[in-house]
Amino acid sequence: MQLPIISKIFKDVHNNRITLVVKGLEECYDISHVAWFDLKVKFKDSWKRYKYHLYTTLIVGNNPGDVKVSPAPEFSIREDWLKFVDYCNSEKFMAKSKRNKKIWANLIAPCILGRASMSITRHKLVRHTYVEHTQL
């Protein structure tokens, strides 16, 4: 609840909010060896995944009115949830989402390779290109 879902980008989340999360973690875990920068990166990634999870599971394909009437998800403030639903159903967000889906669909090599090394990825790309050309 300390990291608001209504912020559009993580830079908009004030450091005071992040400090509250760190204090909560310090009560349960020894994180004295973790650098502040690393914590912010981990928080940013978790925050983005959580927002994406909320969007894909609760908003996409559902009527905005029904979503607003339903209870706010765990770890979200009701007012923030309503603003988040409005933002996700706005014209600007929908256009941005459509554009990004098109861009991601045109990628030749995925930017997230997982455990595959670049040499394996190159081999797969060459094989994929070869198969496409032989089918023509």
- For residue 130, tell me if it sits in a domain: no
pLDDT by 10s per residue, the chain, length 136: 567 777 777 777 777 877 887 888 888 888 888 887 788 888 888 888 888 898 999 998 888 888 889 888 887 888 888 998 999 999 999 999 899 888 888 776 655 566 667 777 777 777 665 555 555 5
CA pair distance 16, 89, nearest whole angstrom: 29
Domain count, the chain: 1
In terms of pTM, does the model score above 0.85? no
- For residue 111, tell me if it sits in a domain: no
Q: Which domain holds residue 64?
A: 10-90
- For residue 4, tell me if it sits in a domain: no
- For residue 48, tell me if it sits in a domain: yes
Q: What residues have CB less than 8 Å from 77, skipping those under 6 apart?
A: 1, 4
